[in-house]
Structure 1
């Protein structure tokens, strides 16, 4: 099974033919700008469509700390996204309290472990909305 940097490399090389379908779900690539280094970081993340937008979850497996990619997009919400061969710029935002329950359900249907991750931590796990720009 693909994981980490190898997952990213194979996904990029094959326009997602390898790496988009992963572990009975689907994955996009999110590239954020490092809030300290300014360097680009690309992370494979489970996603779902939500209208015209894409949803991802900053779960880090239920860790008490937010994942680095989430901390990066809080500092710089302009990100790059790749879904299969479609590469685009997006603006990332954290789902608001009023919209999160529906979005969480969408994501928990595709990856039921999200509910378990939330039980493991006192941190409220954010749902991130990726809105295409340009």
Structure 2
């Protein structure tokens, strides 16, 4: 097992079993809700990003290896909770976008984790409907 693979496994384990469980309970934490591609059940993921106009932008640290990205590939209809309010939207994966440059336009506190642990950065834009 390579160092990157081990780091990815440890990071994903910590996020899934500790950080995400705590962050989902925070009333103003930004959440992304996708539909599970196998279960059909809602899946929520805490994340950071920024609303710009009628779009919400974020960078996935593990790209197409992230479960929520795989869910978006199966069904791009999502919801995003911003400042305690849910918004429906359509997610677009933007592999051609320069994710590192995009992160410079997003809140810095989230970028620390993405930059530190990210191994397959992928920009995502959610066009908000309401």
What's the TM-score, normalizing by structure 1? Answer: 0.68
Deviation at 1:129, TM superposition (A): 0.6
The root-mean-square deviation of aligned C-alpha atoms, in Å, is: 2.6
Q: Is the 8 A contact 1:108 1:115 kept in 2?
A: no
Local SS of the residue matching 1:36: coil
What is the aligned partner in structure 2 of residue 85 from structure 1? Answer: 84
More helix by share: 2
Local SS of the residue matching 2:65: coil
Local SS of the residue matching 1:7: helix
Return the alpha-carbon distance in structure 1 between the equivalents of residues 49 and 129 of structure 2. Answer: 18
Local SS of the residue matching 2:43: strand
Deviation at 1:99, TM superposition (A): 6.6
Change (3 A) 1:102 1:85: same
Change (3 A) 1:109 1:76: same
Q: Which 4+ runs in 1 deviate beyond 6 A?
A: none
Return the alpha-carbon distance in structure 2 between the equivalents of residues 46 and 91 of structure 1. Answer: 17
Question: Which residue, out of 29, 32, 44, partners 1:30?
Answer: 32
The answer for unaligned runs of 5 or more in structure 2 is 1-17
What's the TM-score, normalizing by structure 2? Answer: 0.70
1:18-76: CA deviations, max 9, x gaps? xx3xxxxxxx111100001101101110112233311122114xxx8621111101110
Question: Which residue, out of 20, 36, 40, partners 1:4?
Answer: 20
The answer for unaligned runs of 5 or more in structure 1 is 21-27
